[in-house]
């Protein structure tokens, strides 16, 4: 489809190039600034530190690569903003085929952003799991539970991975089946665990309440 607005004024072809160049330059500047802002706020959330404490840095060290998730997420956002400017540029040049391809990529980006949110939540849950404490009624003390923390962290990562793959539309049907099965397994495990080991805890709690009432 021809750009009738520009053609009605008989604008020479080189003017199109100048307009597109200006759009791209502005897009590069704006997207870079947004990248810096996003990276700054993700750094304030201490994502890199939390992932490092969870053992991710060791994986990146094998490839002599620095762990910088904040910068990576900022770059993803920068690409998204830049794609909008490119879309406008190709529309000015009446290159609708390329514009449609870029439009399809932009339309897919909400899935990426939701996946990023899921990933961030998983990081916070996994980091929090290291601080889980378990009360011992017999010895009347609180202790850190590495086992329980690892179970919570592993469950969070598995659920997050499945949710991200589903959100990115990768083998959606298979991922959904695995996700439902994993949730059912967690519910069944918790139910059995409470049924076996929770009776004494519940009895002890009720006895304490009864003593306080008396």
Give the chain's length: 214
Query: pLDDT grade, residue 77 (50/70/90)?
Result: very high
Q: pLDDT higher for 136 or 146?
A: 146
pLDDT digits (tens, 9 = 90+) for 187-201: 776 666 555 555 555
pLDDT digits (tens, 9 = 90+) for 18-68: 888 999 999 999 999 999 999 999 888 887 787 777 777 666 666 666 778
Instruction: Give the H/E segment covering residue 81.
Output: helix 69-92
Instruction: Scan for tokens 């690409």, then name that residue.
Output: 79
Handedness of CA 86, 91, 92, 93 (dihedral sign): positive
d(CA 88, CA 3): 12
Q: How many distinct helices (H) and strands (E) make up the chain?
A: 8, 2
Q: Say if CB 102 and CB 114 are below 8 A apart.
A: no
Query: pLDDT grade, residue 141 (50/70/90)?
Result: very low
Q: What are phi and psi of 168, to 5 degrees?
A: -80, 5
């Amino acid at each position: 489809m021809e750009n009738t607005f520009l053609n009605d004024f008989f604008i020479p072809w080189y003017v199109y190039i100048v307009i597109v160049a200006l759009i791209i330059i502005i897009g590069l500047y704006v997207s870079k600034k947004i990248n810096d802002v996003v990276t700054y706020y993700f750094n304030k959330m201490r994502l890199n530190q939390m992932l490092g404490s969870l053992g991710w840095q060791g994986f990146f060290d094998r490839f002599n690569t620095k762990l910088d998730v904040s910068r990576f997420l900022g770059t993803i956002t920068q690409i998204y903003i830049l794609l909008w400017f490119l879309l406008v540029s190709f529309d000015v040049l009446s290159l609708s085929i390329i514009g449609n391809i870029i439009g399809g990529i932009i339309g897919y980006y909400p899935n990426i952003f939701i996946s990023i949110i899921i990933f961030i939540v998983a990081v916070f849950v996994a980091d929090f799991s290291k601080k889980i404490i378990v009360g011992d009624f017999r010895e009347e003390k609180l202790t850190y539970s590495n086992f329980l923390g690892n179970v919570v962290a592993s469950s969070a990562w598995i659920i997050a991975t499945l949710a991200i793959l589903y959100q990115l539309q990768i083998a959606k049907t298979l991922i959904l089946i695995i996700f439902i099965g994993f949730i059912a397994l967690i519910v069944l495990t918790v139910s059995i665990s409470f049924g076996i080991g929770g009776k004494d805890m519940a009895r002890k709690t009720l006895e304490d309440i009864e003593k306080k009432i008396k």
